[in-house]
């Protein structure tokens, strides 16, 4: 059985004061024990979030990591081994904001994915189509291509220790959510694509949905058979709302 996961992507939000408040709120949550919970703060706050959440059943991850796993001369970057040293467990790879705003390509993302695994971090590979691509009927083709970029280079076993987040770009931060059925259709296609290579890996990998998830729509989304939880942006900045989403994922 796949364990459900609910992860909060704080993006480029937070001040020392608001992060302290959020940590307090998270510490106060009563969490179901059948859900893995994680938060992805800005790099600047990772250390304080890890310290602040000590003893709470919440993992901390990074929103990005360097293309190299070890330390070195790479100004401005943070390596996955440094993140491990800080206490991180996970890292987002290929969030659409990095693909589309910063122009990160598959080749760079593959290096980040591999560096993360080499250091012992679990990569959360984010994939998803734009509105234009959906309207052109290219959704499945796009996510298949994004997934194949990893499979072609590292093989299907790369997903033994990875999480996949399907995030339709048109649903991110827009208030538009994919309907549970729309999301389920894509998740099922992703799992089928993986199963063509290895059904055990396909059955084991967690597929999170992301894109305007909130407490009000979480139960319906998480009840779909191939949706194993969510990657939550805006709603994860409010501890009570995030807590309600986590409870929606529990049984």
Q: How far is CA 113 from CA 69, 173, 226, 234, in A?
A: 10, 25, 23, 25
Q: Which of 97, 104, 129, 167 is catalytic?
A: 167
128 binds ligand PGA (CB under 6 A): no
Q: Which residue out of 95, 97, 104, 187 is catalytically annotated? A: 95
10 has binding-site annotation? yes
234 lies in the site for ligand PGA, by CB under 6 A = yes
Distance of CA 125 to the CA centre of its chain: 7
Give the C-alpha separation, 220 to 237, whole Å: 21
Contact (Cβ atoms closer than 8 angstroms) between residue 32 and residue 247: yes
Q: Which two tokens stand for residue 229?
A: 């939880």
The C-alpha atoms of residue 52 and residue 123 are separated, in whole angstroms, by 23
- Per rule CB under 6 A, is residue 28 in the interface with ligand PGA? no
As a whole number of angstroms, the distance between CA 162 and CA 166 comes to 13
Question: 22 or 235, CB closer to ligand PGA?
Answer: 235
Q: Does 63 bind ligand PGA (CB under 6 A)?
A: no
Binding mask 5-24 for ligand PGA (x = CB under 6 A): ----x---------------
Stretch that binds ligand PGA, among 65-73, 100-108, 151-159, 208-216 (CB under 6 A): 208-216
Regarding 173 and contact with ligand PGA (CB under 6 A), the answer is yes
Is 167 a catalytic site residue?
yes
Active site residue 13: no
Report d(CA 3, CA 1) in Å as an integer: 6
Instruction: Give whichever of 142 and 235 is closer to ligand PGA, judged by the CB atom.
Output: 235
- Annotated binding site: which residue ranges? 9-11, 173, 212, 233-234
């Amino acid at each position: 059985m796949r364990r459900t996961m609910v992860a909060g992507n704080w993006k480029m939000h937070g001040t020392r004061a608001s992060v302290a408040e959020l940590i307090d709120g998270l510490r106060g949550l009563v969490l179901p024990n059948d859900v893995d919970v994680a938060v992805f703060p800005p790099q600047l706050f990772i250390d304080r979030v890890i310290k602040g959440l000590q003893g709470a059943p919440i993992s901390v991850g990074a929103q990005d990591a360097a293309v190299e796993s070890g330390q070195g001369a790479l100004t401005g970057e943070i390596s996955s081994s440094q993140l491990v040293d800080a206490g991180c467990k996970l890292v987002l790879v290929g969030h659409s904001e990095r693909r589309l705003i910063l122009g990160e390509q598959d080749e760079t993302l593959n290096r980040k994915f591999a560096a993360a695994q080499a250091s012992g971090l679990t990569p959360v590979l984010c994939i998803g189509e734009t509105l234009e691509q959906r309207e052109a009927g290219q959704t499945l083709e796009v996510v298949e291509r994004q997934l194949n970029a990893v499979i072609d280079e590292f093989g299907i076993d790369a997903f033994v220790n990875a999480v996949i987040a399907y995030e339709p770009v048109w649903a991110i931060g827009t208030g538009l959510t994919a309907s549970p059925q729309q999301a389920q259709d894509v998740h099922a296609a992703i799992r089928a694509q993986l199963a063509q290579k290895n059904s055990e890996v396909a059955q084991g990998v967690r597929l999170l949905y992301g894109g305007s998830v909130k407490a009000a729509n979480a139960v319906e989304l998480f009840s779909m058979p191939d949706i194993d939880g969510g990657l939550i942006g805006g709603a994860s900045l409010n501890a009570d709302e995030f807590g309600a989403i986590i409870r929606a994922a529990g049984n």
